[in-house]
Structure 1
Amino acid sequence: MKVVTGLFLIVLAAVAGGAAVHFRWIDASSVLDVAPATASQPANRTPSATAVEVSTAEETIATTDINAIGTLQSDESVQLAPEVAGRVAAIRFDEGRPVKAGDILVSLDNSLARASEDEIKVRLDLATSNYDRAQRMAGNGTGTARELDTALAERNTATTLLNSQRVQLAKLDIAAPFDGVVGLRRVSVGSYVAVGTPLVNIEKINVLKVDFKVPETNLQQVRVDQEVEISVDAMPGKAFTGTIYAIDPMVDVNGRAVSIRARLPNDDLTLRPGLFARILIKGMDQKKVVTVPEAAIVARGQDRLVWTIVDGKAQENKVTITGRKAGIVELEGLVPGATVVVAGQARLRKGAAVDIVNGAAPQASAS
């Protein structure tokens, strides 16, 4: 009996122990079941807003400006060259210095030409004496009309030869054809030069010209006496004013453009021929346009987008760019006053909440 009782007590103790373990496992499972629910709670919170910087789309009055490029040219330019061959006897100018019209710049050796002139003068003196004597003889009847005609022809021939020789002598002195600045000489004293050999260039640069082209579609936007703004890369930040004075009557059939020439003053000789020039022609037509900072434009393939903020939410807008100037973009597809994002666009999504960090007021809803 005692043995049976002992076995019963052992079985009872084992059952009680198993129950205790079971209850402990249930409590642990309950804790584990609750923990995931607690951990998932942050995922249900409202996501944080994206920080952005914004600006405002503005309505402005714009003109149809035309931009072109060209090259500055001298108002007058010539390459001096001799009309007769000879040896350089003297150079009478300083390189890079102003000269006046008529100043002798280069003289060729004239010794042979002077000798020929003296010979012709002697011949002319003799012909003149013979003609005077023939006149007297014809007057007193001792001479004939034929002798008088021969003497007159000889005198006229000598006179013509002398004039021709003096012209040749004048060509040995090469003079400046207009007021200007001489360039760098190409020859030295003692050089033998043939007809047409370049000696030095002269540039009239107190006034400059600039040639440029505009598309034929803009032809109605340009006219003679219209002012243009000219800038050169050699002098950044400076602008010069010129005036259109000639428009080519022919349109280039290859480039579909028309050539235009403008003139600009250069009294201080600051500008130089050959400088690359940018030309801005102010358009005569005015229109209202919407503008935004360049930073507001987002490229996506061939499309251009602008993010706007409405009721604290980001909206994506497809726009069409119609012009650019000094960091400002003219476009279509936005209304004036729209709040546009200029920084932080890469993190935005449609309908995303935003946090404006530069203090600009967002646009209110249309409703």
Structure 2
Amino acid sequence: MPLRSLPRLLLLLSGLLLAVASPLQAQQPTAVIAAEAHLEAWSDPLASLGTLRADESVTLSATVTDTVAELNFRDGEEVEAGQLLIRLADDEAQADLLAAQALREERRNAVNRLTQLQQRNLAPRGDLEDARSRLRQVEAEIQALEARLNDYRLRAPFGGRVGFRNVSVGTLVTPGTELVTLDKLDVMKLDFTLPELTLGEISPGLALSATSAAYPDTVFGAEIASIGTRIDPVSRSVSVRALIDNPEGKLRPGMLMNVVVQREARRALVIPESALIPEGRRQFVLTLTPDDEHRVTRREVSIGARRKGEVEILTGLEAGQLVVAHGTERVRDGQPTRLLGILDDTTSVSELLRRDREAAEASG
């Protein structure tokens, strides 16, 4: 190449370099939203399925053969302890009781006469003892008849709600005939199972939450009341029982509940799940350096448990460091950024973007 053409070539190369460099110099830092790695209480929940049972439950049945004389309840009615629910026809038993009471009065009078005569030595002492024995005999018969009469009256053993009435007045019942159910529903028993390996992490008093498909928007809080004394050798699980307050009567025996037991909390380093950049089995985050134009640094981290919107960081970060939570796909390692804000409990991505848009419109 002639020497006289060299200056022209250098001038052309310089122009090309300036043309390439000008867009890079004019490029603005990428806007990002950050979050701070922070320590907070973290609990790994245990999930299970449970079945509800009434705090107290009984089926009242007949113990004698007779017809129904009275029904003193309505379907689903709340009853009090001791309230008479059903009375069976007891005319014959009542007649036997009246006869026995009359006989008791007769024998009591006989004892009184013989006592007076014996005090004046006008009657043998043996006759008085025989009369007293016959009086005690009839008193025992009266007690037996009164106990028999109780079998004709079915009372609520505790306060609760009765079920459907499946008999009518005049129905002939026999011993064992189920007449009505009674459930105490102000407190419910929730029975479920947990794996054997969790036995050392649960204890009475541990909090849990339960939900039902019948009330998907309602979370019922409870505590573990007791833990089974045996491990199922087939499923290798332990039975657990919790108590749930049910003042409004929403919960019913037999309902299926989704149970989440909150284990003892630990301190964990937490960041938003959106800050993770997965590559195969490895996880990375982009940290920001506030003293250097919030320049991005790519770091590999190891993660632990996850929960909705958050992830536990085991290694690779320290508390207080800023990570890119929104905009990770637009920035690269070593690139400066424009920080729009830091996410916390009082802010959101949409709120920070709105503020930036309003500020741009006001300055433009």
Q: State whether structure 2 residue 98 is matched by structure 1 residue 118.
A: yes
* CA deviation vs aligned residue, 1:31-84 (integer Å, no higher than 9, x gap): xxxxxxxxxxxxxxxxxxxxxxx9989666422322222012111111111232
The 5 Å alignment of 1:143-222 reads 143-222=123-202
Cα distance in 1 for residues equivalent to 2:277 and 2:150 = 70
Native 8 Å contact 2:84 2:156 kept in 1 = yes
Q: 1:325: which partner in 2?
A: 307
Could you list the per-position Cα deviations for residues 79-107 of structure 1 after superposition, in whole angstroms to 9, with x for gaps in the alignment? Answer: 11123232111110011111000100111
- 2:307 is aligned with what amino acid? K
Unaligned segments of structure 1, at least 5 residues? 1-53, 343-353
- The 3-state SS of whatever aligns with 2:76 is coil
Inter-CA distance 100–272: structure 2 relative to 1 (3 Å threshold): same
Aligned-residue CA RMSD (Å) = 3.6
Aligned to 2:211: 231
Q: C-alpha distance in 1, partners of 2:274/2:168?
A: 58
- Note closer, same or farther for the CA distance 1:184–1:60 as it changes in structure 2 (3 Å cut): farther
CA apart distance, 1:149: 1.4
Q: Deviations over 1:274-314 (max 9, x none)?
A: 2211222222141425666499798x9xx86768789xxxx
Tell whether the 8 Å contact from 2:275 to 2:285 is kept in structure 1 after alignment.
no
Shift in alpha-carbon separation, 1:106–1:295, aligned structure 2, 3 A: farther
Alignment deviations for residues 15-46 of structure 1 (CA, whole Å, 9 cap, x no partner) = xxxxxxxxxxxxxxxxxxxxxxxxxxxxxxxx
Are residue 254 (structure 1) and residue 230 (structure 2) matched?
Answer: no
Between 1:94-103 and 1:123-132, the stretch displaced more is 123-132
Where has structure 1 moved over 3 Å in runs of 4 or more?
A: 54-61, 289-298, 303-310, 317-320, 322-342, 361-365
Residue deviations 1:163-189, cap 9 Å, x none?
A: 111111122110001111111123221
The whole-number CA distance in structure 2 between the counterparts of 1:67 and 1:152 is 71
Aligned length: 293
SS of aligned partner of 2:154: strand
Q: CA 1:165–1:297 in structure 2 vs 1: closer, same or farther (change >3 Å)? A: farther
Match of residue 278, structure 1, among 246, 251, 258: 258
- Following superposition, the deviation at residue 272 of structure 1 comes to 1.9
1:1-367 aligned at under 5 Å gives the runs 61=40, 62-288=42-268, 293=273, 323-326=305-308, 356=330, 361-362=331-332, 364=334
Q: Which amino acid aligns with 2:268?
A: K
1:30 aligns to what? Answer: none
Instruction: Indicate conservation of the 8 Å contact 2:90/2:149, yes or no.
Output: yes
**For residues 306 and 225 of structure 1, what CA distance do their matches in structure 2 show?**
38
- Partner amino acid, structure 2, of 1:279: V
User: Per the alignment, do residues 238 and 294 of structure 1 end up closer, same or farther by CA in structure 2, a change over 3 Å counting?
Assistant: farther
For residues 51 and 275 of structure 2, the distance between their equivalents in structure 1, rounded to whole angstroms, comes to 33
Instruction: Please tell me the residue identity of whatever aligns with 1:213.
Output: T
SS in 2 for 1:141: coil
Taking a change above 3 Å as real, the CA distance of residues 158 and 189 of structure 1, as seen in their structure-2 partners, is same
Answer yes or no: is the 8 Å Cα contact 1:82–1:196 preserved in 2.
yes
**Judging changes above 3 Å, is the alpha-carbon distance between structure 1 residues 304 and 175 closer, same or farther for their aligned structure 2 residues?**
farther
Query: SS at the partner of 1:166?
Result: helix
- Which is further off, 327-336 or 261-270? 327-336
SS in 1 for 2:147: helix
Offset from partner CA, 1:191-241 (integer Å, 9 cap, x none): 121222111111111111111122222222222222222222211122121
CA apart distance, 1:355: 6.1
Name the counterpart of 2:342: none
Provide the C-alpha distance between the structure 2 equivalents of 1:224 and 1:94, rounded to a whole number of angstroms. 39
Question: Normalised by the size of structure 1, how large is the TM-score?
Answer: 0.68
Report the 3-state secondary structure (helix = DSSP H, G, I; strand = E; otherwise coil) of the residue aligned with 1:187: coil
Cα displacement string for residues 86-139 of structure 1 (whole angstroms, at most 9, x for unaligned residues): 211111001111100010011100111111111111211221122122222222
Shift of residue 247, structure 1, vs aligned partner = 1.6
| 3-state SS of paired residue (2:95) | helix
